[in-house]
Amino acid sequence: MKTDLSYLRDIYGKKAVDRAAAMLQDLEIEVPSWGFGRGGTRFGSYPEVGDARTVEDRIERARQFHTRTGQGRRVAMHFPWDGETAEDIRGLAAALRRAGLEAGAVNSNLFTMRAGDGLDHRLRYGSLTNPDKEVREASVRHNLDCVRIMRILGAKTLSLWLPDGTNSPGQMSFYDQAERLDDAIRAIARALRPGEKLLIEYKIFEPGMYSTAIPDYSRALALCEIAGKNSGVLVDLGHHAPTTNIEQIVAFLLRAGRLGGFHFNDKKYADDDLASGSIDPAQLFRIFVVILEAMARRLVRFKDIAFMIDESHQIKDALEEMVESVTNIEIALAKAALVDFDKLWRHQRACEISAADSVLHHAFHADVRPLVEAVRTERLRSRQ
């Protein structure tokens, strides 16, 4: 693709284009180890020869991805999927080093039965909110193990996604559910040292569930208040009701100083884990506009937000779909960086609403692909 930026500079001005380029340079997208394997539907998956099966395969794919895009220097890991024994973890650290990559967020797994740590079939009734104290304690212990893994890998973030919920209204009191979770979060957060961070993810539903233990951002926010200042809410774009205004939630979290980061993906109906920006690129743009406005208002620093991809690639080649996703994210950011906030705020204060909207449209309709390409080329060159 031609990387002549004169069209953009003519329309948006050199200053705005330079600012967009600088934002693209600062953007660091973390990719998930699990996203390089072959995903499936609830009913099955159809692996083929050449799919990444082992953690070594997944790291090799992540290395290829990083070589191609300059993004994904950090790879989010998932345990026990990416290793169990101390030897596994040491091997993983060495494999990442050899690939020139780093460990990103460490994701604990509270939905896999493991006899060794007492996580057995009783997980059916929940992990951190299980009525059985033994299962709750084993589930907390798994998170503490993940904190130890973080330190071996040199990672700084523990990412918590909770599979807990109920299948029917009579199954568990909301009061017990909330109380058990408060206690567990307190115990996990206590294990973290300064500079380490806990990200808490929410999700409105799971198939077959009547309630989830952390259904929305307000519950995640309340848990962060319990966990302390080293915690933040993780916004997975697939975890809301279809009509939810996600960018407004992002603004609320930024005002509260509690936006920990994102799990980027896209959806049409529910938690579809489709390629980021493949269904609703305008939503991705509006989310970045809200973030850049928060930066302009000095509510947040760009580097304090974890930009992570969480997708399941089941039909397309995982590596290709990851490139598509990262490109869509970069395009959305570059467009948002072309928004003239001074002009927007002026129109907003004067209630010139059509004019205010046209500021957003003007930026959204920019073809920033040459800019994204130019920054990517530059990033790859500077790494050589």
Distance CA 225, CA 241 (A): 24
We find the least distance from the C-beta atom of residue 238 to Mn ion, in angstroms, to be: 7
Residue closer to Mn ion, measured from CB, 156 or 263: 263
- For Mn ion, give the closer residue by CB, 202 or 285: 202
Catalog residues that contact Mn ion under the rule CB under 5 A.
236, 263, 310
Burial environment of residue 39 by CB neighbours within 10 A (0 to 12, 13 to 18, 19 or more): middle
Tell me the closest approach of the beta carbon of residue 263 to Mn ion, in angstroms.
4
Q: Which is nearer to Mn ion, 273 or 330 (CB)?
A: 273
Distance CA 316, CA 349 (A): 47
Q: Which is nearer to Mn ion, 164 or 236 (CB)?
A: 236
| AA identity, residue 106 | V
Is 309:31 a contact under the CB 8 Å cutoff? yes
Which residue, 236 or 266, has its beta carbon nearer to Mn ion?
236
Give CA–CA dist 285/293, Å, rounded: 12
Name 357's Cβ contacts closer than 8 Å, sequence gap at least 6. Answer: none
Question: Is it true that the peptide bond before 242 is cis, omega within 30 degrees of 0?
Answer: no
Which residue is associated with the tokens 């996703």? 325
Distance from chain centroid for Cα 69: 18
Work out how close the CB of 272 gets to Mn ion at its nearest, in angstroms, rounded to a whole number.
12
Residue with Cβ nearer Mn ion (70 or 261): 261
SS3 category, 222: helix
Decide whether 247 or 310 has the Cβ nearer to Mn ion: 310
What is the nearest approach in angstroms of Mn ion to the Cβ of residue 125? 23
Instruction: Give me the least distance between CB of 265 and Mn ion, in Å please.
Output: 8
Note whether 308 and 104 are within 8 A (CB).
Answer: yes
Residue among 63 and 263 whose Cβ is closer to Mn ion = 263
The least distance separating Mn ion from the CB of residue 108, rounded to whole angstroms, comes to: 13
* Cα–Cα dist 249/221, whole Å: 11
Minimum Å gap between C-beta 148 and Mn ion is: 23
Q: Which two tokens stand for residue 206?
A: 């799971």
Q: What is the distance between the alpha carbons of residues 138 and 118, in angstroms, rounded to a whole number?
A: 6
**Contacting residues for 324 by C-beta, under 8 A, at least 6 apart:** 275, 278, 316
Q: How far is the CB of 271 from Mn ion (least distance, A)?
A: 8
How near is the Cβ of 307 to Mn ion at its closest, in Å?
13
Longest dimension (CA), the chain: 66
CB of 236 or CB of 321, closer to Mn ion:
236
CA 49 vs CA 71, 181, 362: distances in Å: 26, 42, 46
63 versus 74: smaller Cβ distance to Mn ion: 74
3-class secondary-structure state, position 261:
strand
What torsion do the CA atoms of 340, 345, 350, 353 make, to the nearest 10 degrees? 70
Q: How far is the CB of 236 from Mn ion (least distance, A)?
A: 4
